[in-house]
Amino acid sequence: MIGVPSSNLARQNSLLAALAPPDFDRLAPHLERIALPLGTMLYEPGSQLPRVIFPTTAVVSLHYVLESGASAESAGVGYEGIVGISLFMGGETTPSSAAVQIGGHGYSLDSMLLKREFMRSGAIQSLLLRYTQFLIAQMAQSAACNRHHSVQQQICRWLLATLDRIPSGEIVVTQESIAGVLGVRRESVTAVAGALQRAGLISYRRGHIAVLDRLGLNGAVCECYGVIKRQMRQLWPGVDGFVKEPLRAPTRESPLRAAPLG
């Protein structure tokens, strides 16, 4: 971005923004702004992590992959987090994969440098541990949601969480990609997308979803989305993530709440 110092852009990431100047200044010279194109595989199960990534405008999907090749998202990471927590949690490799779900940018940092900072047992360690607690809570809530809630509710949760992490109201994603993230059939995603569009909540054309009525989606989602928002506020009172304003005032109760699909 022309005219904006890279260190200021790095603070678009909430973890980096939460650091006090002395802590941030130690990291800033080593932060490298990188493009994160849609579909980029950042790491695969069992791989070592030479660098960690702080997304700013990109969204990364963490997946667990089965022997059959099937996979499902365990958590998403956007501007609020870091990709590569296994590094400072005691593991040199990761059991999951990480792929860019929404293209954008982020900052990479040498893993050993971050590990040294973590071992100082100061503010950086405390912040990363709080984020790890949030990420574990997100994973647990996603597992419960995928087991007990309808495909429609899962899709609404994913749409809202993704919308919170990007600067616009339009998500560039295919139905196949959503099905892969949630571990559901593509036909189920097609049916739900059609229902949401007929209800006036989204506008969908191939590869693009524009959210027209955010409050309407809130009326169709399960409680899992709100639980994750509350978790973030409790863990990081000073970092106001996941709090975008509704796109428009509600004109009715969502007709989808009473009759979820999937």
Task: Going from the first residue of the chain to its last (262 residues), give the mean pLDDT of each consecutive group of 10, the final group possibly shorter.
Answer: 60 92 94 95 87 95 79 88 86 82 95 92 91 91 90 93 86 89 91 94 89 91 90 67 43 42 36
Q: What is the largest CA-CA distance in the chain?
A: 54
Nearest to 177 by CA among 77, 35, 39: 39
Tell me, what's the pLDDT at 96?
A: 81
Tell me, what's the pLDDT at 201?
A: 94
Tell me, what's the pLDDT at 236?
A: 65
- Give the DSSP H or E segment for 60: strand 59-65
Tell me, what's the pLDDT at 110?
A: 95
Nearest to 210 by CA among 219, 199, 222, 201: 201
So where are the chain's domains?
A: 6-145, 149-235
Tell me, what's the pLDDT at 101?
A: 92
pTM of the model: 0.85
Tell me, what's the pLDDT at 23?
A: 95
Tell me, what's the pLDDT at 118?
A: 93
CA–CA dist 155, 194 (Å, integer): 12
Tell me, what's the pLDDT at 22?
A: 94
The percent of the chain in helix, strand and coil, each rounded to the nearest 5, is: 45, 20, 35
Q: Which residue has the tokens 């809530």?
A: 141
Architecture of the CATH domain 6-145: Sandwich (2.60)
Tell me, what's the pLDDT at 251?
A: 40
Are the folds of 6-145 and 149-235 the same?
no
CATH number listed for the domain at residues 149-235: 1.10.10.10
